Structure 1
Amino acid sequence: MLETVGHSVFRNRDVETAPLHRLSHADHKVNFPAGPDETDDTMAVRVTQFVTNMLRPGEWLRGVQTVNSVLERKYLAIELNDVKNGLLPEGASQDLIGALRATIKTGILPEASDPEPDRSSTIDTMISTDDLIIGGDEHLETFERIVGQAEEDVFVLSTFITPHEGKYTERHERVRVALERACRRGVRCHLFYGTVLDAERRNAIAMQELNVRLSAVRHARGFVLAHRDSVRSHVKCLAADDGQGGSVVLLGSSNWLSSPFSAVELSVELTENQAAAAGLDLLRSIISPLSSASRSIETLQFMASDLRRARSPLSPTTDTGHRVPVRMTFLQADDHERLLRQVAHEADERFVCCSNKVGAPMVPGLFNPAEIAGRRLDDVRVYYSRPSGPIKRRHVRAHRDRLNGVVDLIAVEDPQVHAKFLLWGNDDVVVSTMNWGSQTGSPDNPLDEIGLHLEGEGLATSLLVKFEGQLED
C-alpha cells in the first residue's frame, strides 16, 4: 500500500484500511491528490525498493510480478492516540510521522500529494570508445550481432516501423531476417514503436505485417510480442540478453525497424551490468503505459534484477579495446535545454552540437547558447542536415551570416546526419534522441526524449574524430 501524505509503502498485513464507502461523518479523511493514479509499473518499482531495504544478508529480490495485481483506492486508518504513543506501522516515512505529529499539535489535517517523479541517478560504469556506435553500416552490423547472440529475449523500440518514403531496401530485409533467425532459435521478440504522428495507422499496420511474418517462422508462435499501439516516445532502443548471462542495451538515434542505415547515426552500447540494468529500467518505464505489455515489462524487471545481483567488476580492459571509468547520467526530455545553456557558459575548450533538424525553436533553443559559447571559445560548431516545419534554408543562411566568426553552422546533406549529440571539452559527451535545434523537452512527458551524459577521459575527443571520419567517407 502507498500512502500519499508521506509516500510510505506498507504491507497490507501491517496496516488497517477502510473502503471509500465505509467512512462515517465522524471520521476525518485526507483527500486523494488530484494527479494521475498509480500504475502497476510504478507500484512495482515502489514495492521493489521497499522489499530490497528489508532483505537480510544472503537474500535477494529477483523481481516483482504484476500481471494479476489490482490497484484500489482505500483510506489508511491511523489512530492518533497510537501515534502519540509512538505506535506506527513498519515502514512509515519521516514525512508521514512529521505530518501526523503536526496534526496532533494543530488539529489541521495534512495534505496528500503525488510523489515527485524519480530522476535517474548518476551511475559509475566503464565504457570503451568502441561502445560509441557511429555510422549506418556499424549500426546495422551491431543490430545483427546483438540479435544474433541473444538466447532468450530481444527488445526493439523504433520511432517508426514504415520505411522512409515507403521503400523497403536490402538493409530493411537484413533487420527482418535477423529477427526471423532469432525467432527460429526460440528467442522472444518484443517489438514497439513510438510515433504519434500516424493518423492513418500505417505503423500499426506495418507492425502487424511484421508480426505475421515473424510468427510464421517455425516454432515462433507465441514468441513474438509485437505491439500495435504507440508508446508515445521518440526514444530508440535495442536491448537483449547477450547469451552469456548478461545483457546489452543500445540507446541513440537509430530507428531500427525503419532505417535504411544510410545516414550518420550515433548510439551508446551499454554492456556493464549496472549500466545495462539502468537502460532496461528506462525501457520498462517507457513501455509501461501499454496494458498489453505486461509480459515484456516483467521480463525487463527480472533481467535488470539479475544484472544487479551479478554486479560485474569494473574492469579497465576488454577484448574490444580500452575502457575508461565513466560517470553516466540519464537526461530526461526537459533536462536537455537546461544542460545546453549551462554548457554554453561553462565549456572551456570546444562546443559541438549535432541535430538532424533545425526548426522553429532553433534560435532560443540552440543558436543562442552556441553564440554565448562562441563569444568565449574558438571552436563552436552546430551540425545539421535539414530545416523543419516553417523554417527554410534561407532562414538558416541568414543566421549563418549573422553568426559568422562566432559559430560555424554546418549543413551536412550527404551523408545526412541523423545523430543527435552535444560534446564539449575533451571528456563530456551527451548522446541523445532529441533534435536539439527543432524540439523542446516537456516536463509533462519526460520520457519523450532521453540523453546519456557520459563523462570520461577522452570521450569527447574520440567521438569527434569518429564523427569527422564519417563525414569524410
Structure 2
Amino acid sequence: MVLLTLDHSPGTIAQLSSSLQIPRQVASSTVARLMQFGLVEVRMAPTPVLTTSAVGHAFLRSDRALPERTTDREVGISIVYEKVGQSILRNRDVKTIPLTRLPSSAQAVGFPASDLPETDDTMAGRVASYMARSLRAGEWLRGVQAISSVIEQRYLELNLDDVRNGVFPEGTTDLLVEALKTTIKTGVLPQVSIPPPDSPPSARIAFESDQLIVGAEEHLKAFERLVAAARSDVFLLSTFVAEQADAKGQEHRERIWRALEEAISRGVRCHLFYGTVLDDKAKNAIAMQELSKRLSAVRAAAGFVLVQRDSVRSHVKIAAADDGRGGAAVLFGSCNWLQSPFSSVEMSVELRDNHGAAIGLDVLRSIVSNLASASRSAEVLHFMASDLRRRGSFLAPAAQAVEGSRAELTVVYADDHEQLLRAAAHSAKHRFVCCTNKVGANMVPALFNPAEVAGRRIEDARVYFSRYTGPTKRRHVVKHRERLHDIVELIPSREPQLHAKFLAWDDDDVIISSMNWGSQSGLSGNRLDEIGLHLKGPGLAIALLERFKALLKD
C-alpha cells in the first residue's frame, strides 16, 4: 500500500502516515526499505517529496512480489578440494592424511611443483560452489567468512574396493570416478588435472556515455561524488602513494584527502591499498603510513582506517564505494588516486549498474585477497558484491522496462590485452585508435605492428603517447613515424601529458585499461597485474574520442 500510495500521490512521511493511518515509524521504515531496492526516491522540485522511481513505477505493473525481509544464517563448513577430478567434498565425509604421515605401503598422487597455492579467495569460491547445491528453498549465499580459515595440503584417502563397489563421497565428480576406474584397470595412478581457465566475467549493464570519465578535473569530481555518497565503505587501490610533503599537485590531492576525512567523520570505513613492487626504499609504504596517521586523527574510534602497508602487486587502479542507497559505484582506469597530481589526461569507467559494480568489486577482492592482512576488506567486498547481485536480480525485469542505454561489459585480464588488440586491428572497419602513456622496447610487436595491420585496411589508424621508457628514445619512434607515414599516425603529446590507456575501434567498442599498451606485456602468470574493461555499446567509441580530442585541443 505504501508503494501504491506514493505512486498515486507523492508526499512526505507525515502525509503518508496520515493517508494510510499508520504510525510514522512504520511509514519511515517501510520507505527506507523500498528506497534500498530503488523503488522509491526523493523528488526535489517544486518541493521535496517521496515518490516512486521509474523502476518502482514499472515494478508496480510487473505483477511481481515485493522483496522479503532477510535474516542471515551462518553455517560452519570444512571442505576438501581434490585436484584429480576437481571434486569439492565435505571434510566430515572423507578421510585425509597429513603429508608427513603417508604409510609406506600407500601409493599417492602428489602435488605438482608448479601448482599455484590455494588462497582464502580461491577456497571461498570452492565453498560457494559446494553451498550452491545445499541451500534451503529461498536461501541464497550472501558471502563466505574466511577470517578463521586454515588451508592445509593433505592426501585424500580413497579405498579402491569402495570404488569397485561404486561407493563415493557426495560431491565426487565424474572425472574423478573415471580416473579411479582407469587406475583399477591399468594399475597406473591418475594424474592431477588442470581445470580450464575461467571465462572473463561479463554482463549486459545499464551504461551511459557520461560514465566514461575523461580528464583530470572530471576524475576529481567523480571521486568526490563517489566518496560523498558512501555510508559504509570506501576502497582505493592506487599503484603509488604520494608523501604528505609532496608539493606537486598538492592542491588537487588535498581534495582527495579531505573527501576521505569527511567520509571517516561520518563513520565510513576507508580501505586503502597500493600496488607497485618497485619500492626498494619502502617509499610508498611510508607514505601510506603517513596517510593513515592523518586519516586516523579524524576519528578516535578504531577500525575506520584500514590501511595496507604491503603491496598487492598489481598495476590496477580502482576507487569503489557503496552509494548509500543499497548500491555501489566503481571507478576503473588509469588514475593513481593516492598519488596523481591530476595534471595529465586520465581515463576511467564508472560502473553504477548493480551487476557491473559487483563485477568490479569481485576484481578488487581477487587482487587484495593475496594479502592475509586484508581478509576483513576482502570479506566486505564479497558481501557487497553478493548483495548487489541479489538486488540486481530482484529488480532486473522492472529495470529493463525503463532502461536507457545498455552495454556489454567484459573484464580483460593482463594476458588478454594483446589478443584483443590484434583482433580489433583485424576487425576494425573504419577506425582504430589507441592511447598509451609510454612507448618502450616492445612497442613495435605490441602496438605498432597491429596498428599497421589496421592502417593498411582502413583510413583512420592512430596511436597517441606521451613518454619514452627504457632504451627507447625519441629518434627510435621518429623512424617508425616515417616508416608508417600515411598508414598509422603516431601522435606524441607532451602537453597535455597523456596518462590514459585506452583502445577504441569503430563506433561502439572501447577498452579502458590500466596497461600501457606500448610498453608492457600482460603475463599469464599474473593475470591481475593489469585489468581492462571492454565496453560495447551504441556510440561509446565516438563519445570517448570526442571528449578526448576536446582535451587535446585545450
Give the TM-score range, shorter chain. over 0.9
1:253 to 331, 334, 345: 334
Matches within 5 A, 1:319-330: 323-330=404-411
Question: Counterparts of 1:189-204 in structure 2 under 5 Å?
Answer: 189-204=270-285
Counterpart in the other structure of 1:450 = 531
Q: Scaled by the length of structure 2, what TM-score is found?
A: 0.82
Cα contact 2:201–2:359 (8 A) shared by 1: no
Using the TM superposition, give the Cα deviation of residue 81 of structure 1 relative to its aligned residue in structure 2, in angstroms: 2.3
Matching of residue 463 in structure 1 with residue 550 in structure 2: no
CA deviations on 1:1-54 (whole Å, 9 max, x unpaired) are 110111111111222222233332222211122223211121111111221243
Give the SS at the match of 1:444: helix
Q: Give the alignment of 1:155-304 within 5 angstroms.
A: 155-162=235-242, 167-304=248-385
1:79 to 136, 153, 159: 159
Q: Flag structure 1 segments of 5+ consecutive residues without an equivalent.
A: none
* Paired residue total: 470
d(CA) in 2 for partners of 1:220, 1:400: 58
Structure of greater Rg: 2
For residues 228-279 of structure 1, what are the alpha-carbon distances to aligned partners after superposition, in whole Å with 9 as ceiling and x for unaligned? 1111110000011110001111110000011121211111111111111111
Indicate the residue corresponding to 2:144 in structure 1.
Answer: 64
Residues 321-360 of structure 1 deviation map (CA, whole Å, 9 limit, x = unaligned): x842221111111111111111111111110000011111
Say yes or no: does 1:47 pair with 2:130: no
Q: Contact 2:249–2:342 at 8 Å: present in 1 too?
A: no
RMSD of aligned residue pairs (Cα, Å)? 1.7
The code of the aligned residue for 1:23 comes to: L
Q: Which residue number corresponds to residue 426 of structure 1?
A: 507
State the 1:85 CA deviation. Answer: 2.5
Distance 1:134 1:93 in 2: 49
Amino acid across the alignment from 2:94: V
- Aligned residue type for 2:181: R
Distance 1:358 1:165 in 2: 27
- Map 1:304-315; keep pairs closer than 5 Å: 304-311=385-392, 312-313=395-396, 315=399
Aligned amino acid, residue 9 of structure 1: I
- What 5-or-longer segments of structure 2 have no aligned partner? 1-79
On the 8 A contact 2:330/2:350 being kept in 1, the answer is: yes
Q: Residue 86 of structure 1: CA displacement?
A: 2.3
Cα distance, 1:117 vs structure 2? 4.5
Q: Does 1:100 align with 2:180?
A: yes
Say whether the 8 Å CA contact 1:246–1:307 is kept in structure 2: yes
What secondary structure sits across from 1:396 in the alignment? helix
Q: Deviations over 1:274-324 (max 9, x none)?
A: 111111110011111111111101111111111111124374698xxx842
Equivalent runs, 1:287-436 vs 2, <5 Å: 287-311=368-392, 312-313=395-396, 315=399, 323-436=404-517
CA contact (8 A) 2:503 2:510 kept: yes
Q: Which residue of 2 aligns with 1:118?
A: 198
Cα pair distance change 1:128/1:317, threshold 3 Å = farther
Mapped contact 2:109–2:192 kept (Cα < 8 A): yes
Structure 1 window deviating more from structure 2 (365-374 vs 194-203): it is 194-203
Looking at structure 1, the residues matched to 189 and 320 of structure 2 have their Cα atoms a distance apart, in angstroms, of: 47
Q: Output the CA distance in 1 between the equivalents of 2:476 and 2:107.
A: 62
Letter in 2 for 1:342: A
**Where does residue 522 of structure 2 map in the other structure?**
441
Provide closer, same or farther for how the CA distance between residues 21 and 389 of structure 1 changes in structure 2, counting only shifts above 3 A. Answer: closer
More displaced 10-residue stretch of structure 1: 67-76 or 165-174: 165-174
Question: What CA distance in whole angstroms lies between the structure 1 residues aligned with 2:178 and 2:406?
Answer: 41
CA contact (8 A) 1:18 1:74 kept: yes
User: How far did residue 115 of structure 1 move?
Assistant: 4.1
What letter matches 1:109 in structure 2? L
Measure, in 2, the Cα distance between the counterparts of 1:450 and 1:80.
45
Distance across 2 between alignment mates of 1:121 and 1:222: 32
1:218 deviates by: 2.5
Q: Secondary structure at the match of 1:102?
A: helix
Q: Which moved more, 1:80-89 or 1:247-256?
A: 80-89
Take 1:399 and 1:317, find their aligned partners in 2: how far apart are those partners? 51
* 1:146 matched to 2:229: no
Q: Which moved more, 1:214-223 or 1:266-275?
A: 214-223
Any conservation in 1 of the 2:439–2:467 contact (CA below 8 Å)? yes
Consecutive aligned runs of 4 or more in structure 1 exceeding 6 Å deviation: none
| TM-score normalised according to structure 1 size | 0.96
